[in-house]
Amino acid sequence: MGFSTWVLLILNILMFAALPIFSDSSLSSNQLPEIPKEFLKFAKKAEVFDWMVRIRRKIHENPELGYQEFETSKLIRDELDRLGIQYKYPVAVTGVVGYIGSGEPPFVALRADMDALPIQEMVEWEHKSKIPGKMHACGHDAHVTMLLGAAKILQEHREAIKGTVVLVFQPAEEGGAGAKQVINAGILENVKAIFGLHVAPDLPVSKVYSRPGPIMAGSGFFEAVISGKGGHAAIPQHSIDPILAASNVVVSLQHLISRETDPLDSQVVTIAKFKGGDAFNVIPDSVVIGGTLRTFSKESLMQLKQRIKEVIIGQAAVHRCTATVNFLESEKPFYPPTVNDKGLHQYFQNVAADMIDISSVKEMQPMMGAEDFSFYQEEIPGYYYNLGMKNETKGNLAYLHSPHFQINEDAFPFGAALQASLAARYILENQPESTPLKGEHRDEL
């Protein structure tokens, strides 16, 4: 018996044949686990797995930066056309949003980011990046691939989806706040929950890691110009040394963490840019410093932002310099913390355990990295998790944003099936109590 026929048979057993198959809210818990398991079996089929691998490798060969993902977007649209899935384009410049199901509530969304990084790939393999200085070093090519895999699974059973799955192929996660632009486009107005994943090279394949509450930090960028008066190194008293002032600024900024922050409220300030002077014996007129700030609450982020500005200007003044501070929000918007909905956490654990087993569903520690999935979570309940892809027999994988980063494609069936299962089960478990009568208002696409 084919996979599609098998799943439809299960679903029809669950309720009266004449009723919509997702309309019964009293389904017993022992019937629901079969859907994730069968989705995974389908995703592991050789023809489905090979199809995903081909897609990912084509995307990997042609990486595109944020809001420039035109070829990636075209590939996605071509695949959606082949699958018979309707979509909207463009959304947020290059984004694509697909729809599977009835076009009616409940609405649930799945998200994948599309953009690459300005990194020269150092991995020598057949499908290495063909674009100099650009590389998929954060796994977004895998994310797109697995969302297309989830779309294929769901489209096979579209008649059984009495609700709507929204497929969000999003641009510009890497600093461009593409998620914010998707929200501004009004695409998610009727969506009640959204799920997103990220590949994790340091975690075992087939295992998933997440937690309720804060999972990743909010973050922002800043740059400061500290100006003094240049002069000869032999007569520093005739100068106003901005290098000395900037050095004290860097030290004082660390005191914000060690002496002004609650030790239980994790925060980080990092200065990663320090530029000033071109000669060994000339004090420059100015110095430029820059860095990031990260916290697990939006309130802490805004407070830290204010204190960074005050410290830079104040410390510069102590050394007779002036300073201007720019938080670059028009170019690099502040990302809020990524906070997983506590109700969706239990739901995620149930679905993931039904697909793999409860021992493979792990709780992770929060990370100070940032993720623009957080913008969705400010608007609607959202859940973000890590998908392991490490295979001990193949050695350790380089970490994210490394020029040596690689993908273990064996993780694809797990990611595709889990995303599809999260959407299908959410619709099944959140059916409207009653169907609107003809002429009554209802949310539609």
Instruction: Detail the residues annotated as belonging to a binding site.
Output: 138, 140, 174, 198, 401
Nearest to 270 by CA among 335, 216, 219, 325: 219
Instruction: Return all residues near 81 (Cβ < 8 A) that are at least 6 apart.
Output: none
Nearest to 95 by CA among 106, 87, 86, 103: 87
267-275, strands of its sheet edge to edge: 267-275, 286-295, 218-227, 322-326
Q: How distant is the alpha carbon of residue 293 from its chain centre?
A: 19
| 53, 434 contact by CB (below 8 A) | no
Residue 147: both structure tokens together: 């969302």
Q: Is the dihedral of CA 204, 165, 28, 11 positive or negative?
A: negative
Q: How distant is the alpha carbon of residue 445 from its chain centre?
A: 25
Q: Is the dihedral of CA 85, 86, 90, 91 positive or negative?
A: negative
Query: Measured between alpha carbons, how far is 195 from 108 in angstroms, rounded to an integer?
Result: 8
Q: Is the dihedral of CA 291, 318, 242, 259 positive or negative?
A: negative
Q: Catalogue the E-assigned strands of 1-158.
A: 86-91, 95-101, 107-113
- 322-331's contacts with Cβ under 8 Å and 24+ in sequence apart are 322/226, 322/227, 323/224, 323/225, 323/226, 323/227, 323/245, 323/249, 324/224, 324/225, 325/222, 325/223, 325/224, 326/222, 326/223, 326/224, 327/220, 327/221, 327/222, 328/221, 328/222, 328/223, 329/220
Instruction: Return all residues near 408 (Cβ < 8 A) that are at least 6 apart.
Output: 201, 205, 389, 390, 391, 394, 397
Give the position of tokens 């409940």: 106
Residue 96: both structure tokens together: 């694509």
| 211, 103 contact by CB (below 8 A) | no
The annotation places the binding site for Mn(2+) at 138, 140, 174, 198, 401
| 193, 383 contact by CB (below 8 A) | yes
Query: Measured between alpha carbons, how far is 432 from 445 in angstroms, rounded to an integer?
Result: 16
Q: Catalogue the E-assigned strands of 54-159.
A: 86-91, 95-101, 107-113
For the chain, the distance separating the N- and C-terminal CA atoms, rounded to the nearest angstrom, is 35
